[in-house]
Amino acid sequence: QSLLTQPPSVSAAPGQKVTFSCSGSSSNIGSNDVSWYQHLPGTAPKLLIYENNKRPSGIPDRFSGSKSGTSATLGITGLQTGDEADYYCGTWDSSLTTVVFGGGTKLTVL
């Protein structure tokens, strides 16, 4: 059971917008920055968003992040079939003093 809660799956059509939710607590999301990762099984995970809403170099502005209280959200606009992957949120937990990840959300682009 992950400390960060993500819905197991989400789907949308090409060109549409989709959001991913990540719910935590005061000891993790509530007091630390959130990162988001894209992962196609068998490949290296990729950092999409760090410090809640910042994009690393090379990540298109179709990807966005936000945080409010103990929840965080990843948004993707202009969906492409290549966006099909698992998406994970991650942050530091100040009580456990460990990194924690959500269980991941599988995106299907219909």
Rule CB under 8 A: which residues touch other proteins?
Answer: 2, 32-33, 35, 37, 39, 42-47, 50-51, 54, 56, 86, 88, 90-92, 97-104
- Tokens coding 59: 């990540």
Nearer to other proteins, 33 or 84 (CB): 33
One DSSP character per residue, 48-72 reads EEBTTTB--TT--TTEEEEEETTEE
Tokens 């502005």: give the residue: 61
Nearer to other proteins, 23 or 50 (CB): 50
Q: Smallest gap, in angstroms, from Cβ of residue 50 to other proteins?
A: 4
Q: Smallest gap, in angstroms, from Cβ of residue 79 to other proteins?
A: 22
Contact criterion met (CB below 8 Å) for 72 and 79:
no
Q: Smallest gap, in angstroms, from Cβ of residue 15 to other proteins?
A: 28
CA atoms within 13 A on the CB side of 16: 11
